[in-house]
Each structure stands twice: as C-alpha cells, then as structure tokens.
Structure 1
C-alpha cells in the first residue's frame, strides 16, 4: 500500500474511532438525574429472605405501586430503592421471623412514570420505555423498532418539562435513521415524550 494512502486510511480510522465514543450532549439547562434506581409499577422484583426460602419470592409491582409476598400484603414498593424496600420487608416480617435479613433485586425494569420515555405516533412499536442513564434518541428509536413509512420523521418533537415549564424540542428522525446524520442524535431525559407525526403526502 502506498505510504500516503496508508497514512490517510489510519487517520480516517482514528477519526471514526473518536466519533464512535463521543457522548451525546445534554442541554446545559437540564440536569440529568443521578442516584439509585427507583422501583416503579410493572417492575418485577425478587425478594430473598436469608434462611427462609418459603417467604422468598419473585413478584410484580402492581399498578397501584404495591406488592404482595408470603406473609406480607400490600407493601408499598413504587418510588423506593431496592435497599429501602428490603428494610420495609424485614420490618413487616419481624412479626413472624426473628431478625429477618432480606435483599431485593429488580429483575425487570419499567421505573416510575415520571422516569419513563414515552413514544407516541408513527413509531413501529409506540410504547413507554424505562430511562437508562446516557440514553439517546437513537437508543429510543432502536427500542421502538424505528418509524413507519407514514412518519414525518423530521417534523417530530420531544415534549420535555423543565422547572414546571413544557418545552417542544424539534428532532430530525429521518435524517438520523435514513441518512445516518449523527448530529441529529440528541440526549433524552426521564419524562420525555417523543411525538412522531404522520406525513400528509
């Protein structure tokens, strides 16, 4: 291979590698929430009580945010961390078991409603998604299977609430998906609603 061609190719690969790991920018006025995962309705949790397998169970969090396990009925789970819920389970079991030790593991994630990303309109599979730290528009589109043939992708908007005020942020889904324009890949935040309108022509 010619030395100049080799240098050009190497420089191009280094540039591509650098772009692949560049984080998606988040608007400065919006703080990305930090902290432990909060359990939400629809999550599935595994409760393990040490030396007491008969009261250990895997249970869904009901739509009202509560769980029911052996010996424990109607215990609030939504809005709590797994550690907080484990302490609540231990307290509830103290009536029946001496010094219970419980661990709680979330095995299926949905999260609280105010932490979900909702996708409506002309997505292949409109749905609510659990927010994951560092999530981008591309991640959301992969999860919903892209957009339909009837979507007006470049007329889509993210509806976001910041400090009580609702904002509409235009996004370019068609440029991102069909043209590979990575500059159209923006960060999404908990509570965002992606609205994908239908094309009229």
Structure 2
C-alpha cells in the first residue's frame, strides 16, 4: 500500500525525467512543491525566499538557489530524518512566469518546468478575441523573442518556460471585416432610432 501511494505521489508531483536539469534554474520568488509520505506539515507549495532558502519554518535551512536537484534532495532528506527513519518524498520546482497582453486571465503564474510556452498561454485562459498567436513576445534574460504559436516550428512548440519569463500576446489591428461589422452595427442603430422617431411622430 505504501509503495502504491508513493507511486501516485510521484505521478502527481514529479516532473518527467527528460525535463529535469541536473542544475537548478529556480530563483527567489519561485516555489518548491513538496509531497512527503505521512508528513502533512511538510506537504505543500512553498515560495523561495530572497536568500535562496525555502519559506517554511521547518525547512528554512534548505538552500535551493544555485544547488543541483540532488543537493536539494539531500538537504530535505537530512531535515526529514529528524522526524522519520526512512522519509519518502518527492519534490519539484514551480517557476514564476508572467503571461499578459491579449489573454483572458493575465497574471503571474507558478508553473512546473516542463510547461511549454503554449501551455503557459493556455494556463492564462488562452488567447482573447483580438489576440495574435502568430506574434507572441517572450522577454527572457533581457532579450525579446518573437514566437509564432499559431504555426509553430518543432523547436517553438517544444520550448519550455524558464524562471522569470514574461510572455505577452499582442493585439491584432483592426481588419476590413472589423470596419464592415462596425459600420453595419452603426447603420442598424441609426435605422432603429429613425424607426422609433417615426413611430412617435405617427402617434402624434
């Protein structure tokens, strides 16, 4: 039973091995997601403090920034050994990413490292009515990268988020269809007003 539950925890919390780097790209304001077998007080999502440690009263000595996953794992294990002889746990990082512009729910999001740029846009509710998937701007490391998510290349389709990414979906300009629709709406509105005036005038 214990092995089955641990397997479920791994499936829920652990990122795919292919997406996990040997070095840590996590930064302050990111978070760590931890699941510990039979230790509810350690299980949850905890922000990374400005000094690079975990914001948790029992894990504050665990330094995450600048450490490999194995180093972080061993630090957590040493803390848990104080409470259990053979601690069973899994953890993953959550990167802080901004998704703004023409999306339905612009906000800062905490997302696992395996999240692609397209999935980050989807996490923000997807593209709004006037959004342009073919012109998505990614600010990363002081550089702006223009991405086409409507017809992405294999490299763009598989591009994963990094901590601190700012993703902005641009707004498309008004097309002739928009102007035609606006003109039709105005004509209909004027016609309604004229009809109402005629009705009133006829009543007199």
Flag structure 1 segments of 5+ consecutive residues without an equivalent.
1-31
Q: 3-state SS of the aligned residue for 1:188?
A: coil
Aligned partner of 1:172 in structure 2 is: 148
TM-score if structure 2 supplies the norm length? 0.50
Instruction: Check conservation: 2:136, 2:148, Cα contact below 8 A.
Output: yes
Taking a change above 3 Å as real, the CA distance of residues 34 and 84 of structure 1, as seen in their structure-2 partners, is closer
**Which one has a bigger Cα radius of gyration?**
2
Shift of 1:148: 0.5
Q: Which moved more, 1:152-161 or 1:53-62?
A: 53-62
Please show how residues 1-201 of structure 1 align to structure 2 within 5 Å: 34-35=21-22, 41-48=30-37, 57-64=42-49, 65-68=53-56, 72=58, 74-79=60-65, 80=67, 83-92=70-79, 100-106=85-91, 109-111=93-95, 113=96, 117-126=97-106, 127-128=108-109, 129-132=111-114, 136-161=116-141, 166-173=142-149, 176=150, 181-183=151-153, 186=156, 187-189=158-160, 190-191=162-163, 192-199=165-172, 201=174
Flag structure 2 segments of 5+ consecutive residues without an equivalent.
1-18, 175-204
Q: Deviations for 1:75-131, whole angstroms, at most 9, x for unmatched residues? A: 33533556434432454467x67x944343127x514x5xxx432211223343333
Taking a change above 3 Å as real, the CA distance of residues 67 and 172 of structure 1, as seen in their structure-2 partners, is closer
What do you get for the CA RMSD once the two structures are aligned? 4.0
Whole-angstrom distance in 2 between the partners of 1:67 and 1:197 = 35
